[in-house]
Structure 1
Amino acid sequence: MPTYMDIHEIKGGIAAEEVAKAHASDVAVEGKYGVHYHKYWVNESAGKIFCLCEAPTAEAAMQVHREAHGQVAEKIIQVEPEVADLFLGGSEVNGEGAALLPGGAAEARDPGIRTVLFTDIVDSTSLTQKLGDEIAMEFLRVHDRIVRDALAATKGREVKHTGDGIMASFVSAAGAVRCAVQIQRELARREREERDHHIKVRIGGAAGEPVEKNNDIFGTTVQLAARLCSHAEPDQILVSTAVAELCIGKGLSFRPLGEVALKGFDRPVQVHAVECGQ
């Protein structure tokens, strides 16, 4: 049966208790429509709720909301359960069905915001042509090891390997930035100590919600992170304003680069470069 995720937007915010009651009402009538609501993510201050369910159709899922409490979602998209889990993690839920924040305080609800990070080996195709497949593959293995070590240290989740880079998801924006910094510092250390050819990597990051304008889970966030990665110079880390704002007070430094026109975005995007230090 297909899996769906929807978004509800409540102006002025919403209390967790109200969402819990609405979810209980969904569960009470879902069997009538062959639907099963698994869990939900709630951002109380922003008034946003994301519900994950299995349903025969999107309309059946919407009908449960309609009958249970009348709060019909603004948008619903079909998702692959495995992909949703890679981005959001196998979140534990409380007795009311609310997803809990991984690594957060007891009963801290997960708002569903994630930071997506892309790495990309610079000029990977020309490296293969210049140095041969064997050396190029060794470079890729070094990149993968460094990135995965950094992910493990900063609680990031690898979503997929892109061929010459890795896409990862983080609950913490600061964790994502620290991961990127660790990657670049380790590559810089390797460059100082190794005599062989050096690996140059660019990194891009963006933060957002699971259901956005795009019809894919975290679609707009993924697209922005990928574009920022492509726009970055070798050894550089570029992030969106949302990431920089989520990192306020976390001891991280950013340099505003102003607005940048990125492919696929109607308006220029404010971009920030992460100061890695040494």
Structure 2
Amino acid sequence: MPIYMDRHDVSETVTAEHVAKLHIEDIKIEHLFGCKGLTYWFDDQRKMAFCLIEAPNKEAIERMHNHAHGEIPHKIIEVESAIVESFLGRIEDPEKAANELAHVINDPAFRTIMNVGLKPLNLKNFKSMGNTHFQHLYESIIETIGSNDGNMVRKNSGSFLVSFQSVSRAMECAVQIQDKSKQFSNSNTLVTIGLDAGVPVTEKDGIFEAAVKSAQRMSNFVKGNIVVSTEVKSLYEQENPSHVIDLSSIRTINNSEGRFLNILIDYLDETWHKTDLQVETFGTELGFSKSQFYRKMKGITNQSPNIFLKGFRLQKSLQLLNNRKGSISEIAFETGFNSPAYFSKCFQANFGILPSKYLQENLA
């Protein structure tokens, strides 16, 4: 049976004890609707409650809540138990709470999300996990994440997605990873880190989708070794008035820049493969003048729109090559290049190797 997570925005007067009582009311009648409440989280600061429920569908959850106490969720999303556990650390009531009569759980689901990107500086003779220096860097990052109480959500040869309950530990982990990466200069790898924070259920359809996308985009597209949202910086400063970390070395993206970045990448995700996409006009299509768009692009990515679009397409082409999704000619046209020859020229200039040579040496 599917598992869902819902979100309740509650009033300022609601406490953890109130939410615990509502949870008990759900459990009393859940069988009538084919549901099973697994656990919940309550964020007293943000006045939000999140329920994890096994149910036949979203409607059954709404009917159960309405029958039990009348508190209808503001949003319900379908989730996977393993993913929930990787983000939040549990999929059932904490043991100490289960022994309490009222089952009070005052555990906020708010998390700091980190994306660590690993980009080879030159693909020539670079074989990811077969590269000894890269392997040592990779293992060092995993060890650093674990020592800072990070929950590994997802990892592959090109990135790590991590969840932290503490924003301070997340920031400290980011700095430690960058410090250690300097010890592995022979790994031929650029390490970039993005940090954002949020709750598991927003207006998006995926768990922590808003924070995950933001962290990934800051890591992948914003100029800087460590890039954080304004919220992460503010939370860190609140927890650490003496500033244990030198924040001047960390790039902070304000809300306006964050919105621009999301608008830009959302647009490119839909249009990057079109050969008739013109960098001279796609800024105006997003509602910006040519000069305004150029300034924003340079300020956030340190690249012109033309260079950024070309790099965006080349990264897509690399993904397709690694997944063996077509011939070089097919991939060239699919990623928006007018000719295979021009694509190969750009690929070599960006990655240090021809795509044909890369396939031959690295994917044989």
**TM-score (normalised: structure 1):** 0.83
Whether 2:117 is the aligned partner of 1:120: answer yes
Higher helix share: 2
- Tell me the CA shift for residue 252 of structure 1: 3.0
Whether 2:169 is the aligned partner of 1:170: answer no
Residue 80 of structure 2 is matched in structure 1 by 80
Unpaired runs of 5+ in structure 2?
267-285, 287-295, 301-364
Q: Does structure 1 retain, via aligned residues, the 8 Å contact 2:87–2:153?
A: yes
Q: Which has the higher contact order (CA 8 A, sep 6+)?
A: 1
Whether 2:149 is the aligned partner of 1:155: answer yes
- Tell me the CA shift for residue 163 of structure 1: 3.3
Separation in structure 2 between the aligned mates of residue 133 and residue 13 of structure 1, nearest angstrom: 57
Unpaired runs of 5+ in structure 1?
100-108, 272-278
Residue 254 of structure 1 is matched in structure 2 by 247
1:112-261 equivalence runs, <5 A: 112-122=109-119, 124=120, 127-128=122-123, 130-133=124-127, 137-191=131-185, 196=186, 198-233=188-223, 236-248=225-237, 249-250=239-240, 251-255=244-248, 256=252, 258=254, 259-260=256-257, 261=260
Q: Does structure 2 retain, via aligned residues, the 8 Å contact 1:139–1:199?
A: no
Residue 276 of structure 1 is matched in structure 2 by none
* Letter paired with 2:111: R
* Letter paired with 1:262: L
The secondary structure found in structure 2 opposite 1:214 is coil
* Letter paired with 1:127: N
Q: Does structure 2 retain, via aligned residues, the 8 Å contact 1:39–1:51?
A: yes
The secondary structure found in structure 1 opposite 2:261 is coil
Residue 325 of structure 2 is matched in structure 1 by none
Residue 110 of structure 1 is matched in structure 2 by 107
Separation in structure 2 between the aligned mates of residue 134 and residue 37 of structure 1, nearest angstrom: 43
The superposition leaves residues 157-203 of structure 1 with CA deviations (integer Å, 9 ceiling, x where unpaired) of: 11111431111111111111111111100112343xxxx45432111
User: Aligned in 2, Cα 1:80/1:135: closer, same or farther, shift over 3 Å?
Assistant: closer
User: Aligned in 2, Cα 1:206/1:239: closer, same or farther, shift over 3 Å?
Assistant: same
* Letter paired with 1:214: K
* Letter paired with 1:208: G
Max radius of gyration: which structure?
2
Q: Does structure 2 retain, via aligned residues, the 8 Å contact 1:205–1:243?
A: yes
Residue 105 of structure 1 is matched in structure 2 by none
Residue 104 of structure 1 is matched in structure 2 by none
Q: How many residues align?
A: 252
Q: Does structure 1 retain, via aligned residues, the 8 Å contact 2:75–2:203?
A: no
Separation in structure 1 between the aligned mates of residue 263 and residue 13 of structure 2, nearest angstrom: 31
- Tell me the CA shift for residue 140 of structure 1: 3.8
Residue 25 of structure 1 is matched in structure 2 by 25
